[in-house]
Amino acid sequence: MHLSKTLDWIKKLAAMEHRRAGSKNGQKTEAYLYKEFCKIAPDNVHKHAIPVTLWEAEKWNVALVDPETDKTKTVPSHYIPYTQFAEKTRASLIYAGHGKKKDLKGLDFKNKIVVVDLTFPMLESAKLAKLALSIHDPENKIKPKLHEATWIRPAWHVYDKAVRQGAVGFIGILSNQPGGYNSYYAPYGFKEGDRILDKPIPGFWIGKNEGELIRKAARAGQTVQVSLKGSRRQSVTHNIYGILPGESDEVIILASHHDSPFQGVTEDASGVATVLTIASELAARKKPLKKTVLFMATAGHFYGSIGTRRFIEEHPEIIRKTVAEIHIEHIAMEAKEKDGKLILTGNPEPAGIFCNYNRKSVELVSEIIDRHNLTPSFVLPASGPLGKYPPTDGGDFYEHGVPVFNMISNPVYLLVDADGMDKLCKERLIPTAKAFCRLIEQLDDVHVGELTDKHYPLKKAVGSFASWLTARKIVKQYGKGVSV
């Protein structure tokens, strides 16, 4: 394995920034990956088309209107993806607090532009550790409170409430996004199914540095002018996958997603390049594995994980023969906010490797972590502390009964336009590739029944109770219908 080649793949993918499903750069990326896959598995690469609606924003603006002069003052903002396009719209603001039930009581959103503070909950490592199946942190780098969980949006349900009540716009203040970024590409349809494009009023994110300005204006009912211009059109995206035949028709799937909202170095050029590195290593071996390896770059993670879902729907014969699904995402450096700016700590972002409640799975994962020093890492149950499925593009495989080994980290810059080459954890690339190459070698001698046996009943019960307790707390604070 050569770091220079892995880095070359990452750089070429990152150069095709805004690799969004159905976009010009997205399709350019798919063509490039198809060629690279063909170098690894000549005559055994597939490119499957998936129809999508391409949503592209061109211009957007949020501006406060001076009540005396009628002049407008632009406030830095970013569009919320897949919301409704609109010409210049003027309306008075209304403040919905943090979106909790007590904040919303008595508010009438009709013909208003709703402002809400979106506050990410803190990812508490101490609590996560209690539910983990294994922890690997020999240098004690995992702090009791890790960082903001920027993929969880408890106040987003206010958007739906605003739509139901006849609001004409929505503004979310990213009140604790580290670094003050407003370029938050979410929500993007993860687990939304067909609702991804069902966002019928224009929406905008405001960074925390401008938050008080908008908050004050909303409390005063000041008028704001918003516009969001762009286009929707029918397009197509593609899953790209190659097959390295083994001696049997049992399958190990190795995957990452190829799309990204911005430059996407860690999200997810790093994952795709690692998949290519592993596949190249396996293909170069003189003796094939017993099991067949299917390596894949899935489409449309930022379009409701449509690529993974379609692959599962269209290939039930492969899913039936799949022994395990390996997913690798976000080989990233840790970053913290200091003096209002995002600063790299010099440490790898702690990773979670999700697997079934299964002793053999935990044994295999723990071995590769220790052997290749993939620390700090949590080995987490695929269902439990962070939801009913792994928070990866491979989560659907778990829901369809496939044993999974899904590695992911979630640095605070993941969904904003700060994800550049400086955020890549270069020293972790080859160790990760070697670790999962070894995992595939180990899985080659494992019967699927060894991975599907259910263990850790106490951990599972505690995890289920913790999930129920968290859901109950959220409903109590925010009401029913909250989506995070």
CATH code of residue 376: 3.40.630.10
pLDDT of residue 465: 75
Q: Does one domain contain both 333 and 358?
A: yes
Give a yes or no: residue 85 inside a domain: yes
Q: Is 36 left (phi over 0), alpha (psi -120 to 50) or beta?
A: alpha
At 120, the amino acid letter reads F
Q: Does one domain contain both 399 and 344?
A: yes
Give a yes or no: residue 473 inside a domain: no
What is the Cα–Cα distance from 227 to 187, expressed in whole angstroms? 19
pLDDT of residue 127: 80
What is the Cα–Cα distance from 332 to 267, expressed in whole angstroms? 9
Give a yes or no: residue 239 inside a domain: yes
List CB contacts of 408: < 8 A, sequence separation 6 or more.
327, 329, 330, 351, 352, 354, 390, 391, 392
Q: What is the pLDDT of residues 55-70, one digit of tens each?
A: 999 999 999 999 999 9
Q: Does one domain contain both 283 and 407?
A: yes
Give a yes or no: residue 466 inside a domain: no
Domain that holds residue 195: 55-123+149-230
Q: What is the pLDDT of residues 151-179, one digit of tens each?
A: 989 899 999 999 999 999 999 999 999 99
pLDDT of residue 473: 72
CB-neighbour burial class of residue 344 (10 A; exposed 0-12, middle 13-18, buried 19+)? middle
Give a yes or no: residue 405 inside a domain: yes
Q: Examine the fold and report which residue of 230, 251, 274 is the final residue of a domain before the chain moves on.
A: 230
CATH code of residue 170: 3.50.30.30
Both tokens assigned to 253 = 């799937």
Q: Examine the fold and report which residue of 230, 261, 295 is the final residue of a domain before the chain moves on.
A: 230
What is the model's pTM?
Answer: 0.94
Give a yes or no: residue 381 inside a domain: yes
Q: Does one domain contain both 261 and 410?
A: yes
Q: Does one domain contain both 319 and 391?
A: yes
Q: What is the pLDDT of residues 376-404, one digit of tens each?
A: 999 999 987 677 888 899 999 999 999 99
Q: Examine the fold and report which residue of 181, 198, 230 is the final residue of a domain before the chain moves on.
A: 230
Q: Does one domain contain both 183 and 40?
A: no
Are 284 and 341 within 8 A, CB to CB? no
Q: Does one domain contain both 166 and 208?
A: yes
pLDDT of residue 483: 53
pLDDT of residue 142: 82
Q: Does one domain contain both 117 and 158?
A: yes
Q: Does one domain contain both 240 and 220?
A: no
pLDDT of residue 192: 63
Whose structure tokens read 């095709």? 16
* Number of independent structural domains in the chain: 2
Question: Can you list the residues of the chain whose pLDDT is less than 70?
Answer: 190-194, 385, 471, 475, 480-484
Are 44 and 28 within 8 A, CB to CB? no
Instruction: Output Rg (C-alpha) for the chain, integer angstroms.
Output: 23
Q: Does one domain contain both 43 and 83?
A: no
Q: Does one domain contain both 318 and 407?
A: yes
Give a yes or no: residue 11 inside a domain: yes
Give a yes or no: residue 137 inside a domain: no
Q: Does one domain contain both 10 and 35?
A: yes
Q: What is the pLDDT of residues 86-102, one digit of tens each?
A: 999 999 999 999 999 99
pLDDT of residue 3: 94
